[in-house]
Amino acid sequence: MDPVADNKALVLFSGGQDSTVCLAWALEGFDHVETIGFSYGQRHAVEMERRLAVRDALRDGFPGWAARLGDDHVVDASVLGALADTALTDDRAIALQADGLPNTFVPGRNLAFFTFAAATGYRRGLSHLVGGMGEADFSGYPDCRDDTLKSLQVTLGLGMGRRFIIHTPLMWRDKAAIWALSHDLGGDAFVDLVVEATHTCYAGDRATRHPWGYGCGECPACELRARGWERWREGGPA
């Protein structure tokens, strides 16, 4: 198999906090960075709407990164919503299922996303694929695990006859450590951008402003984001 010939990355980018930090991380480390997003009938399309706002804010506020930020790609993955019986795509309350997984689980979602990303990277000449999955704040999603994604990297390389490197810079960072990484990457200006422009709330609330950003403050995503913010601001152990 050929060695990786380029220093170009494709970031799985939803407009949420984690993928925005991954995008900044990639813009620091690669010569050229493109973004890819997936529309699949999410309960609230707020994150999809935030994608372009975040890209614009990055371009306006960070000239060094702007020079490396390339095209955006949006893939219609609505077939996932049709296949999955999940609270992420239906209008149902979020809860734990009998198998211990949250009912927001879309089976195989990240496997599909990375496969679509690799196909796009193949066409665009981008060998480095970057995603915001992590095991630190355990979500219970088996396709967020480090072993799953390392295995997928091997499979994609074999199946496409070309080497791809999957990067997951947040894999072992909890939410407090992700806020700290945001500050390391772009200082207060980038932390402000994450607070103002990114969206994480499952309820799609962009009316209520907290110190850590917009959201209902009560859903699991808001709770994680708020708790991480508080721990990072306190400077205590993550």
Residues in touch with Zn ion (CB under 5 A): 201, 203, 215-216, 219, 222
Cα R_g (the chain), whole angstroms: 17
- In 16-64, at which residue ranges do the beta strands (DSSP E only) sit? 32-39
Shortest approach of Zn ion to residue 76 CB, angstroms? 26
Nearer to Zn ion, 118 or 219 (CB): 219
Which residues 6+ apart lie within 8 Å of 234 measured at CB?
Answer: none
Shortest approach of Zn ion to residue 9 CB, angstroms? 30
Nearer to Zn ion, 157 or 213 (CB): 213
Shortest approach of Zn ion to residue 221 CB, angstroms? 6
**Partner residues linked to 130 by β-bridges:** 11, 167
Shortest approach of Zn ion to residue 204 CB, angstroms? 8
| Cα–Cα dist 175/181, whole Å | 10
Nearer to Zn ion, 1 or 95 (CB): 95
Nearer to Zn ion, 149 or 201 (CB): 201
Nearer to Zn ion, 48 or 111 (CB): 48
The answer to whether 183 touches 233, Cβ cutoff 8 Å, is no
Shortest approach of Zn ion to residue 2 CB, angstroms? 45
Map 145-205 to HEC letters: CHHHHHHHHHHHHHHHCCCCEEECCCCCCCHHHHHHHHHHHHHHHHHHHHHHHCCCCCCCC
The answer to whether 69 touches 27, Cβ cutoff 8 Å, is yes
Nearer to Zn ion, 146 or 218 (CB): 218
Shortest approach of Zn ion to residue 225 CB, angstroms? 8
And the tokens for 23?
Answer: 């995008």
And the tokens for 94?
Answer: 């979020």
